[in-house]
Structure 1
């Protein structure tokens, strides 16, 4: 599905996408740039960890340095201007196992040494639910990292270095995210994918009940000033929408209508200065195209003022990931 871009001059920073080259599945710089060249004014992007290009040998806790090295190289290539105006991977959110507790500091310093101008934070594998129907990761994480006292200690070390914690958690885990944010108030916690509203497994056919439960938890989370929300990820199957099963892909108007209750709740709760629209590509590509996705977001933000729209589409991401400090 292709659409003419709505408000094509509105600057966009995409604060959440992945790159990988897996057996039978490839999404690298050229694929990303093909998506970003659909008429929207995408200026820069933030890469978020996905287990890509880990080192094949060496200490287990150091292997994720391969991903940071890989993405930093792509960011440098993009920054050369040889691939067009989009500055891809200007910010990098990598992986360091925070359950290592106070042992994470030298690992974080190694990632910073690898991509100092671009390394902005960490995300661990935390989205977990006991139902086998609720799964959104290639590799299912073990239950419990958010509850591990060592994770809190690792998060303190992260905050001490001025780095951000991205968290992907389902709605049932949001009290754990809130507890973490309270335990480390100096830590900036960026909650991914609208706080994981669920619509499959035990939540299938119970949208109103599930929405009410999700809303209670995100409102409690929003009361904590060190939390922010990424608005996106709603095209994943765990959300319960069935656009991927239809004969034709959805229009931006259809997406906006389906997602409005969630997006509106979050913007009202967190405020535009603590929200940022995200693509979550290529994961969300299974339901919709990149251009249509951003049109849907623009429809959803149509009633916002100019300052709010700037925050939602570029300002919050630029500030939180300090993208104005990175090479261009």
Structure 2
């Protein structure tokens, strides 16, 4: 735990929460940020720290790939490992979002089926870290980030295989790539697509002095994307390096400060996608240099405090429960 961060008590600890995006790893693969191991001990420490976390969804992070066999099947090792970590008496790791190379096109079906066999009911779909910008790079883990990958014929063929198996496709893109994601989602209107990390409005490098311009482009992109009713939106990634302005990262911030900073954008996203298509993600431990797990959920609770009980219940729990078709009991 980073003791330099603001330490807080959990607000409104009764609200049931499904964390739709976190990782577990021995080694993060991010050489510029020395993340320590984040395994079941650390995950349980966070999910039991005060908020009512009733379930979580693991997002791929290039952990524990197979070291032998065909290269395109290596990511299945991560699903095998995570499925073996899942506790039987709690809701952590109730869903697994894995990885498969979109460049395989229609041949991706073999990998999807192997993930399904390894993960059983916990395997829900795959994600692609497609976030690319000419001005800087973000460590991709064990696979290459390909500029324009979502616009390729191979990606379209892969989506057909995902659709055939009724799986989810998630992607992380930057704000200037939102239309790439939209074009892909429009080709499979009956498939569930999930935009991760808040659509990542960039705030570093040359974008640091262009926040207003970036947010105009981000808002326009979200509006176009929300026209597709098969696209869901993850609210989170608020501590993710490319989206954190240097002024925000300058010192430890309370949930009250962070809520005031992010409120206009979060409420815009909720209004645009509606609570029926918004879910919440901690992105831990990637976002942990910015705030504690407790503080993160306090931020979202503060921002949404004026919304109705039904709207908050949808975003913190019910929409995720149905989107990922989780085998978890519904809280009373």
TM-score class normalised by the smaller sequence: over 0.9
Q: TM-score scaled to structure 1, two decimals?
A: 0.93
In the TM superposition, 1:173-184 aligns within 5 A as 173-184=177-188
Q: Say which SS state the counterpart of residue 26 (structure 2) adopts.
A: strand
C-alpha contact 2:62 2:141 (8 A) present in aligned 1? no
Deviation at 1:94, TM superposition (A): 0.3
Give the corresponding residue for 1:277.
Answer: 280
Deviation at 1:163, TM superposition (A): 0.4
Is 1:259 matched up with 2:262? yes
Give, in whole Å, the separation in 1 of the partners of 2:316 and 2:17.
5
C-alpha contact 2:259 2:299 (8 A) present in aligned 1? yes
In the TM superposition, 1:286-325 aligns within 5 A as 286-324=289-327
Deviation at 1:92, TM superposition (A): 0.2
1:42 to 53, 59, 63: 53
Query: Residue by residue, what CA displacement relative to the aligned partner does 1:128-153 show, whole Å, maximum 9, x if unpaired?
Result: 11112x53645661212111111111
C-alpha contact 2:163 2:190 (8 A) present in aligned 1? yes
Give the corresponding residue for 1:151.
Answer: 155
Query: Residue by residue, what CA displacement relative to the aligned partner does 1:241-298 show, whole Å, maximum 9, x if unpaired?
Result: 334431xx21110111111122111100000010011100001101000000000100
Give the corresponding residue for 2:18.
Answer: 13
Give, in whole Å, the separation in 2 of the partners of 1:192 and 1:172.
14
In the TM superposition, 1:226-265 aligns within 5 A as 226-242=230-246, 243-246=248-251, 249-265=252-268
Deviation at 1:240, TM superposition (A): 3.2
2:128 to 105, 124, 127: 124
Give the corresponding residue for 2:3.
Answer: none
Give, in whole Å, the separation in 1 of the partners of 2:254 and 2:271.
25
Q: TM-score scaled to structure 2, two decimals?
A: 0.92
Higher helix share: 1
Runs (4+) off by over 2 Å: 134-140, 240-245
Unpaired runs of 5+ residues, structure 2, are 1-5
Q: Say which SS state the counterpart of residue 156 (structure 1) adopts.
A: helix
In the TM superposition, 1:42-191 aligns within 5 A as 42-75=53-86, 78-79=87-88, 81=89, 86-132=90-136, 135=138, 137-138=140-141, 141-191=145-195
1:27 to 35, 38, 43: 38
Unpaired runs of 5+ residues, structure 1, are none
Query: Residue by residue, what CA displacement relative to the aligned partner does 1:9-55 show, whole Å, maximum 9, x if unpaired?
Result: 10000000011111763111111111112210001100001100001
C-alpha contact 2:94 2:327 (8 A) present in aligned 1? no
Q: Say which SS state the counterpart of residue 286 (structure 1) adopts.
A: coil
The CA RMSD measured in Å over matched residues stands at 1.5
